[in-house]
Chains A and B, each alone.
Chain A
Amino acid sequence: MNAPPDTAASPPDYRVQSRAVAERFRKLKERPVVLDVERLSRSFESEGGPVTALSDISFQVHRREFICVIGPSGCGKSTLIRIIAGLDHPSTGRMLLDGREISGPSADRGMVFQGYTLFPWLTVKRNVMFGLEMRGMDKVQAEREALQWIDLVGLSRFCDAYPIQLSGGMKQRTAIARALANHPRILLMDEPFGALDAQTRAHMQAHLMEIWRNVDITVLFITHDLDEAVLLADRIVVLKAHPGEVQEIIEVPVARPRTPAQLMTPEFLATKARLEELIHPRVETPVTPAEPLPIIRLTQVGDEVE
Chain B
Amino acid sequence: MTTGLPVSTILLITGFCLALIGLWGMLTQRNILRIIIGFALIDTGLHIVMVATGYIRGGTAPIIDAALSKADAARRAIDPVPSALVVTAIVIGLSVTAVMLAFAIRLYAAKKTLSIDAFTESKW
Instruction: Answer yes or no: are A and B bound together in one complex.
Output: no
